[in-house]
Structure 1
Amino acid sequence: MFRTLSPADPTEFSGKRAIVTGGSRGIGAAIVQRLVDGGASVVTTARTATDETPKAATFVQGDVGTTGGVRAFAAAALDRLGGVDIVVNNAAAARSHLGGIGTIPDEEWLDALDLNYLSAVRVTNALLPALHEAGAGSAIVNISSGSSLLPNGPMAHYAAAKAALNAYGKALAGELAPAGIRVATVLPGNVLTPGADRIRQTFADAGGVSLADTTAAVPLGRPGDPRDIAEAVAYLVSDRAQWVTGATLVVDGGELPIV
């Protein structure tokens, strides 16, 4: 069970303008809420809003899995905020193929790359002029996945896209460091979200186990809560992490082997 934390400092991100992709539910919604609670003005996007989408943020319907969708969203977000200081590339989706790598259709490899990797590249490129205008102290966080370090056949397309995102973040951090723009990558483990639960249920059904069994091996004794990831992001985009760039942070309760 996630332990309730002390309330966030409502001035921590005061005056900061944040853009979060995939913020309608799950990890994305938790990140949006954490930034809002810290005083940031936040614009988020997804294909549809949900009951989880934080009401205090501005929601812009869109599809960052396409070049046109990214351009439209970036323009709308900058119009509403007047600039940007924090970018969180969180949009993601995946579908498992229990038959293994050879059963993953070509179009799903392409879809996985578009949404789980290239969306972050395109969103970042669209916002780079505004980030440079904001100057030193601005930050980008890419949400990857623990599966990028420990992939399996049924999710190989997703893992490969996220592994590309890891490499991209490292390269981007080096390039933007002279401008004082920091870049970090967060790798969540088994976090309880609707999308991840659907995938875990598929594996549970195939293995004849319960959904709870799929997260029973987490060393810290529980699956992740979206707020666990949101707190990591809040640290990385804050001034507390002003000397942190190029970092890859695994947030998984100790489940992944040391790599």
Structure 2
Amino acid sequence: MSFDLQLKGKRALVTGGTKGLGAALVQSLQDAGVEVMTSARAAPEKPLEGVTYVLADLATAAGVATLARAVNERWGGLDILINSVGGSTAPVGGFAVLDDAVWFDELNLNFMSAVRLDRALLPGMLEKGTGVILHVSSIQRVLPLPASTTAYAAAKGALSTYSKSLSKEVTPQGVRVLRVAPGWIETEASVAFAERMAHENGTDYEGGKKLIMDWIGGIPVGRPAKPQEVADLITFLVSPRAASVAGSEHVIDGGTVPTV
């Protein structure tokens, strides 16, 4: 039986596509025959042939406008929009160290970047009556770590609620809206963090990973997810093979979230 994802010739925008999950998504979509555009704050060291890279800071309205303009100038619209950019630079220390500037930084990157980009590009999808929008959320929205992820988790919670409402509005008009909520992914940034934890605690990299897994409450499968594993799930969900999947959130966390 063939499992062709029927994505050849589609046009997709992936935000934050030069590192980690974003880079894996760009590669996965390109391998499936998709024409891909992606954004980053800085040019990649090893750009993929055939991928269009747009330099833009999506934590700003101006950066989003730059990216949306690039999409419309090159393609006149798109078929798939994956809002995967995100992250946190909030200091450790609980609620008291989160001033307004930190809160707005977290919200602008993890929530408003998606809202602004959807607002710019969704009308073109609705005009055609077809398209897919996928927002990368996080299990942090249901499993926040008070010492370090309160603002990030709140932003991802807002993204999830917004996504559900948007899906209810536009799915009847032909545009599917989905969410994927990863747990800990073994990206370049998380590898560096595990190595730092290992150094500070006198252990090796595997010991550093175990410290982090214990910190977040454990991962039953025994390891963080690989970026490619999350990318594979997303690539399937945005494909015509998943045409009946809409409005839902798909958790890929190795069993970290302990509740139903």
Summarize the Cα distance change of 1:43–1:139 in structure 2 as closer, same or farther, 3 Å threshold. same
Deviation at 1:203, TM superposition (A): 6.3
- Structure 1, residues 1-48: CA drift from partner, whole Å, max 9, x if none? xxxxxxx95x73112110111111100011111111111111100101
Counterparts of 1:25-64 in structure 2, within 5 Å, are 25-51=19-45, 53-64=47-58
Equivalent residue number for residue 220 of structure 2: 219
Q: Which moved more, 1:82-91 or 1:45-54?
A: 45-54
Equivalent residue number for residue 195 of structure 1: 189
Counterparts of 1:218-237 in structure 2, within 5 Å, are 218-237=219-238
Q: What CA distance in whole angstroms lies between the structure 2 residues aligned with 1:164 and 1:206?
A: 34
Secondary structure at the counterpart of residue 49 of structure 2: coil
- Structure 1, residues 124-167: CA drift from partner, whole Å, max 9, x if none? 0000122123323x100000111111001211111100010000
Q: What CA distance in whole angstroms lies between the structure 2 residues aligned with 1:103 and 1:174?
A: 37
- Structure 1, residues 69-118: CA drift from partner, whole Å, max 9, x if none? 11111011221223200000011120253321211232111000001000
Is the 2:7–2:240 Cα contact (8 Å) retained in structure 1? no
Equivalent residue number for residue 10 of structure 2: 16
Match of 1:152 among 130, 141, 145: 145
Is the 1:91–1:116 Cα contact (8 Å) retained in structure 2? yes
Counterparts of 1:32-181 in structure 2, within 5 Å, are 32-51=26-45, 53-136=47-130, 138-153=131-146, 154-181=148-175
Q: How many residues align?
A: 251
Q: Sequence identity, in percent? A: 40
Deviation at 1:208, TM superposition (A): 7.3
Is the 1:95–1:155 Cα contact (8 Å) retained in structure 2? no
Q: What CA distance in whole angstroms lies between the structure 2 residues aligned with 1:181 and 1:109?
A: 31
Q: Report the TM-score, using the length of structure 1 for normalisation.
A: 0.89
Q: What CA distance in whole angstroms lies between the structure 1 residues aligned with 2:159 and 2:13?
A: 18
Q: Which moved more, 1:120-129 or 1:89-98?
A: 89-98
Q: Which moved more, 1:189-198 or 1:61-70?
A: 189-198
Summarize the Cα distance change of 1:240–1:48 in structure 2 as closer, same or farther, 3 Å threshold. same
CA RMSD of aligned residues (A): 2.2
Summarize the Cα distance change of 1:202–1:17 in structure 2 as closer, same or farther, 3 Å threshold. same
